[in-house]
Structure 1
């Protein structure tokens, strides 16, 4: 194993010059701190991790017969 650190601080570069970090998917230069940490730009991150589908759009009303024994009379 090497003695290199597992995570590199990309926000604080020595000498004020930032290290060029490129997107792992498309190769474009990354400018945002969050994108530089993950290694993916916002567009490529959205391609790999799409938002969850909204289940409310899949619900629909179903015509249903009343349950036996429930004729609407209060007991």
Structure 2
């Protein structure tokens, strides 16, 4: 069982007719994807940013707090 070849070809990524790399389209807008990461996720950069916005920057929420001096200082 461990010596059997895989049923699918994971390395080439090309179709059976040999036209080159398989075309992948964005699942949200339908545009063709060219980048490796975009092809892997199925979303273009702008559509991925719409679905997964970056988290809030914690540095922008920091502020100075007025504090009374400690007694004895």
Give the alignment's TM-score, normalised by structure 2. Answer: 0.68
Q: 1:41 aligns with which of 32, 41, 44?
A: 44
Rg comparison, structure with higher value: 1
Structure 2 gaps, min length 5: 1-8
Residues 9-47 of structure 1, C-alpha deviations (whole Å, 9 max, x = no match)? 596214252222110111111111211111000111111
4+ residue stretches of structure 1 with deviation over 3 A?
Answer: 8-11
Q: Within 5 Å, which residues of 2 pair with 1:59-70?
A: 59-67=62-70, 70=71
- Tell me, yes or no, if structure 1 residue 51 matches structure 2 residue 54: yes
Aligned residues: 63
**Alignment root-mean-square deviation, CA:** 2.3
Name the CA distance, whole Å, in 1 between partners of 2:50 and 2:39. 17
Q: Which has the higher contact order (CA 8 A, sep 6+)?
A: 1
